[in-house]
Chains A and B, each alone.
Chain A
Amino acid sequence: MAATLSVERLRVSFSHRTGSIEAVDRVSFEVARSECVGIVGESGSGKTQIFMAAMGLLGRNAQVSGSVRFEGNELLAADASTLNRVRGSKLTMIFQDPMTSLTPHLAIGTQLAEVAVAHLGMPWKDARSFAGRMLERVHVPEPQRRLNQYPHELSGGMRQRVMIAMSLLCEPSLVIADEPTTALDVTIQAQIIELLRAVRGEFGMALVLISHDLAVVAGLADRILVTYAGSVVENAIAEELFRQPRHPYTADLLKCMPNIGGARLARLPTLAGQPPRPGETLEACPFAPRCSRAADRCRIERPQLTGSAASQVACHFPLT
């Protein structure tokens, strides 16, 4: 069966006054139908840029190469009108900050209905009631009243629910959630994650969950991709990854997660050092300077992502 999304040797770089900055470096992976893939990485590791490229949202100064195929169709070469048919209907995105991703001067109902009008060709009246029903399905209380409210009248969690409702309107086959809980309170975070889990069961779409928080991804993802300095360093089934991380970076990340049941630690362990600045390392393993297992080979040869579909790792000396 063809994958819903397949990314092949995707490369994104940004030209800048001081030269070109590599944000995503030859990333390849697939998202199968109805699969939930978590993408975890530090800020600046390129996790968002992969999907910005897929959605055609990169800035003017970006150069993209490689291939991003969605349901068999190439997205990178598509023109705007083809892209506009896919974006927002079959391939949708939930953004990080619901405070700023809704247009402040349009009522919630209008914004939701607009998507249905544009993509499904519904008349406005039907689209509005359709939007109301969708709000109900994402557990927004008093959906009919919300339709006439403006974004500033809603709380952050409520707005994120609206964004989720908007992304689901046209029964997408893939939803990309870019750090959907980062801007929210911890309690609301849990609710939103719970909601994503519920709608995934209900709509059966594939979900890409981008986060810098392993805990957010843990409960939801079938498979997890760990990104570091623009490339994927580990791609494994979620349980495997948590049980037995293979890349030293993943292992270190897991050590940094506080554990309620575990021993009380004087200090939460952290990763020493800084990730390389984009464009710095091309020949060496980007994690080598921070890695406890690094050997001479790591500093001269960049490891490639290898292994079976269940577990791929980019390391010369994996843990298992």
Chain B
Amino acid sequence: MGGLTGEAARRLRSNPAAVVAVVVLSAIVVLTWLGPWISPNNSQTLDWLHIAARPGMQSSHWFGTDRLGRDLFVRTLAGTRVSIAIGLAASVISLLVGVSYGAIAGYIGGRTDHLMMRLIEILSGLPLIFFVIFLTVIFGRGEYLLFFAIGAVGWLTMARIVRGQTLSIRQREFIEAAIASGAGTGRIIARHVVPNVIGPVIVFATLTVPQIILFESFLSFLGLGIQEPGASLGTLIAEGAAEMEAAPWILLVPGSFLALLLLCLNIFGDGLRDALDVKDG
């Protein structure tokens, strides 16, 4: 997509907010990987001498410690890494499932489309929290369950968007021309439909990442997500919320990371949308 991608990249670069967001995002990602190496502390060792210590440079606990004496700097970075990983993984899953599902439904149309869309409506009608609690009751808590629950729901909107785009692309003449040159249904969907919906798909995917991160944090905050001693931003915030009055930094540090991460992802997604010139809504 040479020329088109180049043009979009140029437009993205001329958007200062998006550039700042990209820089901050890359800084956060680099920090989550390098942070644990820089810091002398380990995310799970308890420092009995510094329990709920304030942030500061005098001890090695730059962001302070939680009420068990674990280093908040390392824990926050580890938690951020987990959150980002879940966000990305779930987005990729929703991208793959959603795009193929939507493109197939939209291109084939008719009764197939009808059935496939009703299935999406049923799934999106499920109250999500209830669904997750239900799953945890049956299968017990676990990270994979979390992935599954988020994945099961994340692709629905994507499939709808792709289907809508496909419906309009199906009417275009190059699809007719492709049929007339003897291309089969599979080839047309893969080579002539999907590349043409990639713009809105990329934009929506970038905006899905923060949504999923937020949702994962929410589940973890409720105690349904990542379990101790593992950490995600949600579990850290839940811990912090319990100590909010005595040691506000335990809440503020992961809270600011989450806010910063979501803000940057959203600004980046918006910038990307403007750059790719996808219609709003």
Bound complex: CA of A89 vs CA of B180, how far in Å?
A: 10
Choose one: B109, B174, B184; the contact of A80 (CB below 8 Å).
B184
- The reply to whether the CB of B267 lies closer than 8 angstroms to some CB of chain A is no
Assuming the contacts A106-B195, A150-B3, asked whether A101 and B174 have C-beta atoms less than 8 A apart, the reply is: yes
The answer to whether A103 and B174 touch across the interface, beta carbons within 8 angstroms, is yes
Q: What residues on A are CB-neighbors of B195 within 8 Å?
A: 103, 105-106
The residues in B between 165 and 185 inclusive whose CB is less than 8 angstroms from any CB of A are 172-174, 176-185
The answer to whether A55 and B180 touch across the interface, beta carbons within 8 angstroms, is yes
Q: What residues on B are CB-neighbors of A89 within 8 Å?
A: 182
The answer to whether B4 and A118 touch across the interface, beta carbons within 8 angstroms, is no
Choose one: B172, B183, B192; the contact of A84 (CB below 8 Å).
B183
The answer to whether B180 and A97 touch across the interface, beta carbons within 8 angstroms, is no
Bound complex: CA of A153 vs CA of B4, how far in Å?
A: 11
The answer to whether A93 and B191 touch across the interface, beta carbons within 8 angstroms, is no
With CB as the reference atom, state the residue of chain A lying closest to B195: A105
- The reply to whether the CB of B127 lies closer than 8 angstroms to some CB of chain A is no
B170 to chain A, nearest CB (A): 11
Bound complex: CA of A85 vs CA of B184, how far in Å?
A: 10
The answer to whether A88 and B191 touch across the interface, beta carbons within 8 angstroms, is no
- The reply to whether the CB of A166 lies closer than 8 angstroms to some CB of chain B is yes
Bound complex: CA of A243 vs CA of B259, how far in Å?
A: 82
Bound complex: CA of A81 vs CA of B186, how far in Å?
A: 12
Q: What residues on A are CB-neighbors of B198 within 8 Å?
A: 105
By the criterion of a CB under 8 Å from any partner CB, how many residues of chain B are at the interface? 25
- The reply to whether the CB of B187 lies closer than 8 angstroms to some CB of chain A is yes
Q: What residues on A are CB-neighbors of B196 within 8 Å?
A: 103-105
Choose one: B173, B174, B180, B182; the contact of A85 (CB below 8 Å).
B182
Bound complex: CA of A148 vs CA of B3, how far in Å?
A: 10
Q: What residues on A are CB-neighbors of B187 within 8 Å?
A: 118
- The reply to whether the CB of A268 lies closer than 8 angstroms to some CB of chain B is no
The residues in A between 85 and 122 inclusive whose CB is less than 8 angstroms from any CB of B are 85-89, 92-93, 95, 97, 100-107, 114-115, 118-119
The answer to whether A100 and B172 touch across the interface, beta carbons within 8 angstroms, is yes
- The reply to whether the CB of A57 lies closer than 8 angstroms to some CB of chain B is yes
The answer to whether A84 and B177 touch across the interface, beta carbons within 8 angstroms, is no
Question: Known contacts A87-B179, A93-B181; can you find 11 more A-B pairs with CB under 8 A?
Answer: A80-B184, A87-B180, A87-B181, A87-B182, A92-B181, A100-B174, A101-B173, A115-B182, A152-B3, A153-B3, A163-B177
Report which B residues bind A (CB closer than 8 A).
1-4, 109-110, 172-174, 176-185, 187, 191-192, 195-196, 198
Q: List, sorted by A's number, 11 A–B pairs whose CB atoms are closer than 8 Å.
A: A55-B180, A81-B184, A87-B179, A88-B183, A95-B173, A100-B173, A101-B173, A107-B2, A119-B182, A150-B2, A150-B3
